Amino acid sequence: MDKNFKKEVSARPGGENINYCYSCGTCTATCPISELDRSYNPRLIIKKVLLGMKEEVLKSDDLWKCIQCHRCVAHCPQNVKFADIMRVLREMSCEAGYYPESLLQEINELDKSVRNYRLDLVKKHLNGGKRLEQAITGLAGGDEEDG
């Protein structure tokens, strides 16, 4: 056990709110990965950090299962921002030598690519919506001209 572990996590950008967690489990209930893999439990990961189970947390493969979808962040009643805490834990894990830095870089690149892909899809959808709006406005204008 390492009682300073939670302090180390909360001292890093993204880990500041970890102490606000009151273990309600909403993050786990809304996480798509937890739904597929019952052994993956965000609430439990936070609990372990708060208890000081540093080595167990930083050595765990669970750190790499999160897809950074931020559903847990959106639903957390305490604004703990678990997705950001996962990024902090990944960094600490690599610094401790449990995983190579290259893995962290690859995962960060992957997260970035997925975010950009999602952004492109949303933009495409919104542009489609705009075109539709313009078409409707054009029709209304056409009606006025006709009248």
Angle in degrees, CA 40, 53, 65, rounded to 5: 25
Q: Binding of ligand SF4 at residue 43 (CB under 6 A)?
A: yes
Q: Binding of ligand SF4 at residue 23 (CB under 6 A)?
A: yes
Q: Binding of ligand SF4 at residue 49 (CB under 6 A)?
A: no
Judged by DSSP in three states, 23 sits in coil
Q: Would you tell me how many other CB atoms lie within 10 Å of the CB of residue 139? A: 9
**Integer Cα distance of 58 and 54 in angstroms:** 6
Q: Which is nearer to ligand SF4, 42 or 94 (CB)?
A: 42
**Number of helices followed by number of strands (H, E) in the chain:** 8, 0
Q: Binding of ligand SF4 at residue 33 (CB under 6 A)?
A: yes
Q: How far is the CB of 128 from ligand SF4 (least distance, A)?
A: 27
Q: Binding of ligand SF4 at residue 19 (CB under 6 A)?
A: no
Q: Binding of ligand SF4 at residue 57 (CB under 6 A)?
A: no
By CB under 6 A, name the one of 2, 44, 53, 70 that touches ligand SF4: 70
By CB under 6 A, name the one of 9, 58, 63, 72 that touches ligand SF4: 72
Using only the alpha carbons of the chain, give its radius of gyration: 21
CA distances from 146 to 44, 121, 138 (A): 66, 37, 12
**Site of interaction with ligand SF4 (CB under 6 A):** 21-27, 30-33, 42-43, 46, 66-72, 76-78, 80, 82-83
